[in-house]
Structure 1
Amino acid sequence: MDNNRAVAIYTIICFFICFCQITGQTLKGYVHVNKKPMNAAEVFIVDSEQKKYFTITGENGQFSIELPNKKWYSVKIFSNKKLLLDRNIFLEGNKIENFSLEEKEVEIKGLDIISKKKIIQQKVDRLVFNVENSIIAGSGDVLDAILLAPRISVQNDEIKIMGKNKILVMLDNRPINIQKNDLINYLKSIRSDDISSIEVITNPPSKYIAEGNSGIVNIITKKSKTDYWNLTLNTSGQISSRFINKDGIIYNLKHKDLSISSSVNYAGGYSVPTKFSNIEYPDATWTENNNQLLLTDNFSSRISIDYKINKHISTGAQYIGSYSSPVIESNIESNIFGKSNNNSLIQTKSKDSKNNKFTSFNYHIIYAIDTIGKKISFDFDYFNNIGNTSQVYATNIINDLGSLSNSQSFSSGKNEGAQRINNYSMNVDVEHPTSWIDFNYGARLSFTNTLNDIKFYNLNEQGINLDKNKTNQFSFKEKNQAIYFSANKKIGDKWEAQVGIRLENIQTNGFSKTLNQESDIRYTKFFPTAYILYKLNDHNQFSVNYGKRIHRPEFSLLNPFKYIYSPYSTSEGNPYLLPEFTNNLEFTYNYKDFMITSLYYSDLKDGFDMLNMLDNQSKIQNVRPINFITNKSYGINQYFYLKLFSWLNVNLTLNIFNSQSKSNTPITLSYLNGWNLETKADLNFTLNKQKTFFLGVNLWQTSKGVSNLDRNSSGYQVDASLKLLLNKKLQLICYANDIFRSNIIAYTGFSNNNETFYRNYDDLRFVRLSLVYSFGNKSIKESSREVKNSEEKERAVSK
């Protein structure tokens, strides 16, 4: 069966490649000014449907461009921002046209061939925040610009789309596959002046993998004709309860057809997170305080190389490597208050040491078939993750007055775990525009192998003894074959529609050597997407989109063996855990340049989560992931972009939604319904006329509400930053996070009719002082050719 599927996918790919070879008609031309050939003149062509094409003349003034047949075209020719010629032609079949001019050129102010774009644009499948049209967004770094983008929240150094679990950040349509801390430093090193736009994709099209109920933030940079190199050094010191330092170097080079981007980052230091829980048993109340000391020790590096072989073919590769060795020391004090004053006290100390090596490699090649947008892209990706952990605990029962059963006064143990993950994937993507509709299709193959080896040792007076009953080897394999297809059509000046379908075929196999237990899961699923955009006029636009998503469990959740933290705390995986599926529907109204209203609905089936299973007799807590949640939620997201004064810009977001969750296990509540309110405000002040001194204030608040089958308390957070541009090379930034230490949200739920209460704080209140120094001969000059291409391109490309 697998061979048949592989043959079918191979046949479809071959058909796609052959189908892609269909080309349009060719317009060849010669540009002469005063009877002399014009070199590097910019040829800008617009058809009757306002589709735009672009090319550039060679040394002999010749150009060649493929266009859809039987249409009228407006041809404008520029040189150094001067309009040389404006002519209308009709194309039917291949044609050669001479464009000669003997009169004096007419200079124009700027490029009036393109009307000024709005700051925020609604496209059929995404929102576009045009950074180059925003004065405040264009005066800092990329992270400053992201803060102003609609529906985006940057909180505690994490980028989110409001209403989404996680996001994928891309740069020029290519994923930035680096860790969260490194990602923030990387984005801070890019000037917002070098950014053209930021695309917010809340419901990704079918060409993107269907994994995760997530969104995409795609950062589009301006292109440069000139060669350049630049080096950026950044360092920061962060003080919370302890100290963390972060340092990095970024080097970029463009020389002719070669581009190189590289970085090295290090983060090290300590933080002091705290955790508190309370469980109401029928005969006792169990409270637990966990004070932790967390060591961060992470080194990472990245290098990407791209080379344009000729006008049709470009290729490149990217390497990412990281090594981290965090350590968590926990000091847990558990108090058990019996209903008959039979109280007990337990103290547990543990040390969890990890080291993780991550290696990622990507190779890609792009073949641009013609000048009207036909192209084929091929990607090969590989990653390898090697993780080792060692966790030692010692538990003392200081006082036992009968509230515990079958208890020992002292126990100690050691967990050792190793995990190996290897993944190979190949992706083919084809863009195929025609004169009446634009197609996009492709295929993806992915192979994943994981091996988990867990050992448990009893530590006692006799020494270290391996407990074979608590030791396990577990392997997991996953194969994924996917094909996708989408079509985009503009209908007149007001309507645009896009539909897509993605088919994913999955086979998984999990095997526990110790338990001699094997699980095979196979499924084939369709993931449709649909988008409609209606432009009532220049100030009012409406859009609606639908998409289906899948979220597969992490590999660590599939290991069936128990991991022991103390005699009263264990966790285990579930090899029969199934993926969860989500249907998303969204309606959006965009008014002018500053207001976006979104109504959304989400339907989750077979949702999985970590479930804390309490035993009323032994008081043992065992955490295990299971599929037990069905959730329906709907709400409204209101966004405002307000420029109140030349020195004050305000970004406001209001998110109100209702969540209705059902459970199919008697361990939890059977049903929970509630409303939630989230608000966010970003205030950006320009403090001097030179626009070198800035103040940012960010406020976030959430009301009491529900999270699946738990109730959550309210919370808020206030952040502030001062940025000083000492010159074009040096930036000084002072940032204060969670100033009032107020982002402490508690969750209340039920397990086996026992009320549970959890409240954690990750040491979020800190002050960070950063220096960013950049130098080199970087000179990104806005070229009409490249900027126009990026501005007018209607679809995104994923690699």
Structure 2
Amino acid sequence: MKTPLLIAAIFFTGFAFAQEKKQDTIKTKSIEEVTIKKQVFKKQSDRFVYDVAASPVAKGNTTFDLLKQTPLLSSTDDKTLKIAGKNNALIYINGRKTNMDADSLVQLLKSTPAENIQKIEVITVPGSEYQVESSDGIINIVMKKKMSDGLSGNMRMSNMQNKYNGSSASVSINYRKDKLGISSNIFAGDNIQAQSYVLKNGNAKSSNESIGDITDPNKNLGGYLNIDYQLTDKSNLALSWNSWVNRSYDSRVDLFNTIVSDSTQYTWSKNRENARSYNNSLNLNYELKTDSLGSKLNLNAAYLNYRRFQNTDNKTYGSNISRDVLGLNQQIIQNLPQIINNFSGTVDYIQKFKNDFTVSVGGNFNKTKTDNDTKNDTFIFNAQPPVAPKHDPNHFVYDETIYGVYLTLEKKFSDKFSGKAGARYEVTSSLGTSDNTNTPEEFRRIDRKYNNFLPYVSFNYALNQTNNISYAFSTRMRRPSFWEINPVRNILTNDNYTQNNPFVKASSTYNQELTYMYKSSYFLILNHSLYKDVITQVPLQGYPVSPDGKVGTNNVLRYLRTNFGNKQEMSAMFGIQKSYFKEYWTTNFNIGVQHNINNGTLAVDPTTGDRFQDIDGKPVEYVNKTKSTSIVIQTNNTIRLDKKKTWFVGVNYFFVDKQQIELGLLKNLMSLDLSLKKVWNEWTFALNVTDVLRTNIVEIEDFQANGNYNYVKNDQFNRGMTFSITYNFGNQKVKKVRDIEGASDAIKSRTR
């Protein structure tokens, strides 16, 4: 979902004290309090920096909550983070990419207290030295520096009440003794993700409507172990292990279907699913400092193993207008495993010179194999004449090799002006093979080789102490995620399902951004992005016509993963941050305007070669060549209730105007969130209420020129309440273990 949300920053003051000592006698002078305005949110070279060390927002919050209130960052689903409302966010810690997959990383961020964070850096347009996909941006979390030896840690417990109740707990420990540092975390939780759906599609002559609920129970267990040893004064060796397990048994989909054509039919779709996932990664890192200016060599070797086992039982029952469950009409049993193995390596060298000139050079290697041995068994009941069961196996194996090299030059020409230029060159080779004899021969082998040259340039100019301007241009590509190319169907109803696509190819993105900042309090960002061969999911409906000319008997709707033309996004975002009444009230107000231009058509199912026609036999295609302009308004407010800074109230609100996306017109969204927080010594108690007005519900509608329409309403029950308790223990001056970037990190984001 492309949702251009902005979040503003927070000011805080510091105090400077002075004492005067007399030559013969010591007299204590009255200490004068001096208020110092610190730049809490500022632009530095290629990034925005948000200093949160003394912010009232940080205390007692989770890292995920803090990120949602960081300028330029947002989340509308409480699961994913966006930069400037559109860029996907990759998480770094102390300059190193987190060595975790997407789901476990979110769980970790939600279970980690935010008090240990010094600042957050937001890189909207990453340089050539970063391995990022498409329009991905980077969030770099800089932890507080703690120097002494010892043991420290924290514990956090929370209970959540949305439609169902859930709970989570975590323990983090940091230990340092001389040259050895150990950091570990373990977290566990359980919840039931609930959703309700209204699905409508069809035309004036025929229509389908499905209404019902989805419940998805989840149990999570995960953690990490980082060991860092200082070999010499200039070199370190580190080993990182991350693990995450998810179990989702007895997930349920219950949809009541109304099919209108020559007559009206009623059915029930009752789907049951058991799934479990395992993600383990191991990374070995060596770092060598080569001089006193900060030059260094960094080597990484990593192994990643991801396994998901999914079994579904999809049943369609007859029904009537009273919604009674009658006889079983059809049953589809699916076994959908996915196994991913990746070996990766990276080499990075940074050479700094005394004249403020920096050269970065490096390369990466990724070797990935995915194994998807799926099985589908279809049983038709009460058919005349009887229909034999259909066994449809498909063993799809995908091998991919990526080589990449980069060069970046960075120069500070003066105190006012700095620039950066670079390029990345990548070579990708992939082979996908399928043993499914029910598909045409050309669909059983997909062999691709492509090279990409990806330039980057940026500059930053401080006009004076209060005015700053910067510009950045970047070219990137997006490779499809591994689940997107796994050719399986996820069935909603008998005639409505999503279909992944092994033929999806990489897309390209061209980003440019102009930023103006005034007094580190006001900022204006102008952005333009061009996407070519957009990877997305689009609806194609009608009566399918197979390549051999056979016409289907039912009007079906397939949500197909595919490359869907080109897209442009243009946005202007303005933000302001202020504190009032001696910082008793900190408020952030932001407003943004985004203009989307979509240009895509789809007439053929890329996985089967099927074309579609309407009930009169006329060809059907899905067309989205529309434009939209949307407005976004967001405000975050923190109110301090007492002088000792122990009681806080939070009031947050956002409104997202309707906008055109690939699936159709996304209607407006808004949410009001409230919080109450109490700080007591090393304990923090917090109560958060989200979506108080219950207005954060997704609605998408699309009307085609040929008369077809499609409507989706998805309620994820975002209104809820969370109560949490956080306790910090041990020596709070323990130095953090060095956070290490894994060589396989660029691959992990594609496993989900």
TM-score normalized by the length of structure 2: 0.83
Note the 1:199-210 alignment, pairs <5 A.
199-210=121-132
Give secondary structure in 2 for the equivalent of 1:773. Answer: strand
Query: Does 1:685 pair with 2:604?
Result: no
Shift of 1:221: 1.6
1:343 maps to 264
Structure 2: distance between partners of 1:210 and 1:452: 26
1:675 maps to 629
Q: Cα distance 1:301–1:457, how it changes in 2: closer, same or farther (>3 A)?
A: same
Higher mean C-alpha deviation, range 157-166 or range 766-775: 157-166
654, 661, 677: which one pairs with 2:591? 654
Contact 2:702-2:710 at 8 Å conserved across structures? yes
310, 327, 338: which one pairs with 1:419? 338
1:247 maps to 169
Shift of 1:135: 5.9
Shift of 1:766: 1.0
Structure 2: distance between partners of 1:525 and 1:427: 18
1:535 maps to 462
Shift of 1:573: 2.9
Higher mean C-alpha deviation, range 209-218 or range 601-610: 209-218
Q: Computing the radius of gyration over CA atoms, which structure comes out larger, 1 or 2?
A: 1
1:744 maps to 697
Structure 2: distance between partners of 1:162 and 1:467: 51
Q: Deviations over 1:277-332 (max 9, x none)?
A: 11132412321112112101111121111111111101111111111111420111
Query: Does 1:713 pair with 2:653?
Result: no
Shift of 1:263: 1.0
Give secondary structure in 2 for the equivalent of 1:624. Answer: strand
2:719 maps to 765
Contact 2:495-2:557 at 8 Å conserved across structures? yes
Q: Cα distance 1:135–1:747, how it changes in 2: closer, same or farther (>3 A)?
A: closer
293, 297, 308: which one pairs with 1:372? 293
Q: Cα distance 1:649–1:490, how it changes in 2: closer, same or farther (>3 A)?
A: same
- 1:445 maps to a residue whose letter is F
- 1:605 maps to a residue whose letter is K
Contact 1:137-1:148 at 8 Å conserved across structures? no
Shift of 1:631: 0.6
2:571 maps to 635
Structure 1: distance between partners of 2:522 and 2:149: 40
More helix by share: 1
Q: Deviations over 1:258-287 (max 9, x none)?
A: 221111111113232111111132412321
Shift of 1:533: 0.7
Structure 2: distance between partners of 1:150 and 1:267: 29
Structure 1: distance between partners of 2:725 and 2:390: 53
316, 328, 331: which one pairs with 2:254? 331
Query: Does 1:604 pair with 2:523?
Result: no
Query: Does 1:384 pair with 2:305?
Result: yes
Query: Does 1:774 pair with 2:728?
Result: yes
Note the 1:113-512 alignment, pairs <5 A.
118-132=39-53, 134=55, 137=58, 142-143=63-64, 145-158=66-79, 159-178=81-100, 182-183=104-105, 186-187=108-109, 192-327=114-249, 328-338=251-261, 342-399=263-320, 410-436=329-355, 437-459=357-379, 469-512=391-434
- 1:324 maps to a residue whose letter is N
- 1:544 maps to a residue whose letter is Y
Shift of 1:126: 0.5
Contact 1:132-1:138 at 8 Å conserved across structures? no
Identity of aligned residues (%): 23
- 2:283 maps to a residue whose letter is N
Structure 2: distance between partners of 1:743 and 1:207: 38
Shift of 1:253: 1.1
Shift of 1:708: 3.3
Contact 2:534-2:566 at 8 Å conserved across structures? yes
- 2:596 maps to a residue whose letter is S
Structure 1: distance between partners of 2:484 and 2:95: 31
Q: Deviations over 1:8-47 (max 9, x none)?
A: xxxxxxxxxxxxxxxxxxxxxxxxxxxxxxxxxxxxxxxx
Contact 1:381-1:424 at 8 Å conserved across structures? yes
Structure 2: distance between partners of 1:655 and 1:544: 19
Structure 1: distance between partners of 2:134 and 2:226: 26
Give secondary structure in 2 for the equivalent of 1:132. Answer: coil
Shift of 1:134: 4.5
Structure 1: distance between partners of 2:292 and 2:423: 27
Shift of 1:157: 3.0
Structure 1: distance between partners of 2:106 and 2:645: 23
TM-score normalized by the length of structure 1: 0.79
Q: Which residues of structure 2 form unaligned runs of 5+? A: 1-17, 20-35, 322-326, 544-552, 604-620, 738-744, 747-752
Shift of 1:567: 3.0
Structure 2: distance between partners of 1:708 and 1:445: 33
Q: Cα distance 1:620–1:736, how it changes in 2: closer, same or farther (>3 A)?
A: same
- 2:686 maps to a residue whose letter is I
Q: Deviations over 1:674-731 (max 9, x none)?
A: 1011222110111111111111111111112211361121121111111111212x11
- 1:761 maps to a residue whose letter is D
Q: Cα distance 1:411–1:189, how it changes in 2: closer, same or farther (>3 A)?
A: closer
CA RMSD of aligned residues (A): 2.8
Structure 2: distance between partners of 1:551 and 1:634: 19
Q: Which residues of structure 1 form unaligned runs of 5+? A: 1-80, 83-114, 401-407, 787-797
Structure 2: distance between partners of 1:663 and 1:472: 30
Structure 2: distance between partners of 1:236 and 1:393: 35
Q: Cα distance 1:132–1:393, how it changes in 2: closer, same or farther (>3 A)?
A: closer
- 2:629 maps to a residue whose letter is W
Q: Cα distance 1:559–1:779, how it changes in 2: closer, same or farther (>3 A)?
A: closer
2:687 maps to 734
Contact 1:668-1:750 at 8 Å conserved across structures? no
- 1:293 maps to a residue whose letter is T
Give secondary structure in 1 for the equivalent of 2:233. Answer: coil
Shift of 1:163: 2.8
- 1:410 maps to a residue whose letter is N
Q: Cα distance 1:221–1:143, how it changes in 2: closer, same or farther (>3 A)?
A: same
- 2:53 maps to a residue whose letter is E
Higher mean C-alpha deviation, range 149-158 or range 186-195: 186-195
Whose relative contact order is higher, 1 or 2, with alpha carbons under 8 Å and at least 6 apart? Answer: 2
Q: Cα distance 1:706–1:188, how it changes in 2: closer, same or farther (>3 A)?
A: closer
Give secondary structure in 1 for the equivalent of 2:534. Answer: strand
Structure 2: distance between partners of 1:575 and 1:389: 19
Q: Cα distance 1:133–1:356, how it changes in 2: closer, same or farther (>3 A)?
A: closer
Shift of 1:582: 0.8
Structure 2: distance between partners of 1:412 and 1:555: 28
Q: Cα distance 1:317–1:165, how it changes in 2: closer, same or farther (>3 A)?
A: same
Q: Cα distance 1:658–1:194, how it changes in 2: closer, same or farther (>3 A)?
A: same
Note the 1:38-77 alignment, pairs <5 A.
none
Q: Cα distance 1:641–1:138, how it changes in 2: closer, same or farther (>3 A)?
A: farther
